[in-house]
Amino acid sequence: MKLVRYGLLYLLILAAAVVSAQTKGQGKPGKEIRLFNGVDFCGWTYFLSDPNLKMSAVWSIDGDEGAIVCKGEPAGYLRTVADFTNYVLKLEWRWSPVTKRAGNSGVLLRMAGEDRIWPKSIEAQLQHGNAGDFWLIDGVRLNSDPKRINPGADTNRLKIKNMEKPVGEWNEYEITADGGHIVLKINGQVVNEGTGAEVVPGKILLQSEGAEIHFRNIRLTPIKR
């Protein structure tokens, strides 16, 4: 009888370990990939609310800065052609250093399905003052501390702290998607995390959402599982 009990206990511990690994992630880093080469949009495509507009109406490249410049209007996004599942994504962003006008944008993760303004995905928020929030779009799930669920919008998971630099300065986002575990760091500090995300391959999106925003040094390190 004791052997049976010990056997059951072992199975329960093993099952818990498997669930933990699926939730938190147990992957190892691979070789870094430069998603943006600083010269052209190789590996990227786009979607805009106005289907008659070309990419160049919204998105351009500042060769001196090696940066993507997004005018912010109309709404839409730049997205990777390839799908990614488990990775560490790093990029830098800033609002226009000329106008010093802050605004809204976001990095969308594991986007699945058809292109549309709000595709199924997890958004790592970039809106000024709220960078580091999560938004769960089109029914995606992510478990987090109940205290960080916005009482006015249950698909919004609030950041732990504000780590943004002044408007016009470069910030760094580090986004880890490892299994069901998603972690957001801004300028080296963890600002949000969640577990239980669906582990599916998907696109990575950079939003056009009302204000000029710049992106550079976009690189991804796959996590091998």
pLDDT at 4: 35
18 is a domain residue: no
38 is a domain residue: yes
17 is a domain residue: no
CB 86 within 8 A of CB 170: no
For residues 47 and 69, give the distance between their C-alpha atoms in angstroms, rounded to a whole number. 15
Stretch (H or E) spanning 23? helix 2-24
Prediction pTM value: 0.87
Stretch (H or E) spanning 220? strand 213-224
Beta pairing class for 59-62 and 67-70: antiparallel
Which residue carries 């994504």 as its tokens?
89
130 is a domain residue: yes
CB 24 within 8 A of CB 176: no
pLDDT digits (tens), the chain, 225 positions: 433 343 333 333 333 333 343 445 567 888 999 999 999 999 999 999 999 999 999 999 999 999 999 999 999 999 999 999 999 999 999 999 999 999 999 999 999 999 999 999 999 999 999 999 999 999 999 999 999 999 999 999 999 999 999 999 999 999 999 999 999 999 999 999 999 999 999 999 999 999 999 999 999 999 998
32 is a domain residue: yes
- Kindly report the number of other CB atoms within 10 A of residue 62's CB atom: 12
Q: What does the CA dihedral 194, 200, 203, 205 come to, rounded to 10 degrees? A: -20
pLDDT at 28: 84
16 is a domain residue: no
103 is a domain residue: yes
7 is a domain residue: no
pLDDT at 24: 55
Q: Is 16 helix (H, G, I), strand (E, B) or coil?
A: helix
Rounded to whole angstroms, what are the CA distances from 149 to 5, 23, 35, 66, 211? 40, 19, 32, 37, 26
Type of residue numbered 117:
I
For residues 126 and 173, give the distance between their C-alpha atoms in angstroms, rounded to a whole number. 9
Domain total in the chain: 1
218: CATH: 2.60.120.560
Print the domain residue range for 67: 28-224
pLDDT at 5: 40
